[in-house]
Amino acid sequence: MSSVFNLRIGGRLAVAFGLMVLLMLLMAGASNGGLTSVDGRLDQVIGDRYVKVRSVGRIFDELNLQSRNARNVLLLDTAQERELELASIRESRQRAAKIYDELVPTVQDTQAKALLAASLSVRKGYGEALDAFFAQVKTEDMDGAKVVLMQKLRPSQLAYVEALTKLVDRQEQLMAESGTQAKEAVRDTTLVLWIAVIAGVVAGVAFGVMATRSVTRPLAEVRRLMESVAGATSRRTCA
């Protein structure tokens, strides 16, 4: 600090303003880092966690549609009408398969991976039961189709729903955790900004006092010197 006061007035002011600029840059860096963290957490919630929850929800929708179609097959009288329902089931299965193709590579959580693998395993059994139902309908054996529906398709569907429910529960839990982390990032950023503001105020006052004293102290010395010279001159005149 003594080296700073040994500088000329211009140098002292330059040091003071330079320190202020440095503090402002540090505040900007802290703000940017905090906002980047918040943005990352929010992106994880919206762009990752929510997307996965929505994907599983779409699989649920397809499963419900297939269930309605299978029920309608047993209620319809003509092969042409039943074929429309079967075609709807086939299209729904293709859409569900596409959703799985997009979902599987994105799941990184260990527990979610295990639940996803379980749902895929149950899905395989459900698909086999659905194929057996199709076979009975194709042969016009509607009584046999009803038996397959009640004894194979329905139980496998319930097991499939249970597996999907566990998967979506885990994804919702992960989404909630990401939301909590986002709130914590906002809180931490707010705290850092408040600390930076307080530090800025303290530093601003300190630098202001230093700059002011850098100007007023030399002027006070000049004033004392001029008063001393004036006093000496006055005494010589009186003598």
Position with higher pLDDT, 25 vs 75: 75
Q: Are 99 and 63 in contact (CB under 8 A)?
A: no
Instruction: Write the DSSP string, the chain.
Output: -HHHHTS-HHHHHHHHHHHHHHHHHHHHHHHHHHHHHHHHHHHHIIIIIHHHHHHHHHHHHHHHHHHHHHHHHHH--SHHHHHHHHHHHHHHHHHHHHHHHHHGGG---HHHHHHHHHHHHHHHHHHHHHHHHHHHHHTT-HHHHHHHIIIIIHHHHHHHHHHHHHHHHHHHHHHHHHHHHHHHHHHHHHHHHHHHHHHHHHHHHHHHHHHHHHHHHHHHHHHHHHHHHHHHHHHHHH-
pLDDT at 230: 63
Span 100-145, pLDDT tens digits: 999 999 888 899 999 999 999 999 999 999 999 999 999 989 999 9
Mean pLDDT value of segment 186-207? 76
228 contacts: CB under 8 Å, gap ≥ 6: none
Is the pLDDT at 5 greater than 60? The verdict is no
Mean pLDDT value of segment 151-166? 93
Name the least confident of 54-58, 78-82, 201-205.
Answer: 201-205
pLDDT at 53: 86
51: number of CA atoms within 13 Å, CB side?
15
pLDDT at 12: 62
pLDDT at 218: 65
Mean pLDDT value of segment 154-164? 93
Q: How far apart are CA 176 and CA 129, in angstroms?
A: 36
pLDDT at 126: 94
Is the pLDDT at 4 greater than 60? The verdict is no
10: number of CA atoms within 13 Å, CB side?
0
Return the number of other C-beta atoms located less than 10 Å from residue 133's C-beta.
23
Is the pLDDT at 235 greater than 60? The verdict is no
Among 40-49, 186-195, 225-234, name the most confident range: 186-195
Please, what is the average pLDDT of the chain? 81
pLDDT at 70: 93
pLDDT at 164: 92
Q: How confident is the model at residue 215 (pLDDT cuts 50, 70, 90)?
A: low
Q: How confident is the model at residue 232 (pLDDT cuts 50, 70, 90)?
A: low
Among 27-36, 75-84, 174-183, 201-210, name the most confident range: 75-84
Mean pLDDT value of segment 209-228? 68
pLDDT at 117: 94
pLDDT at 151: 94
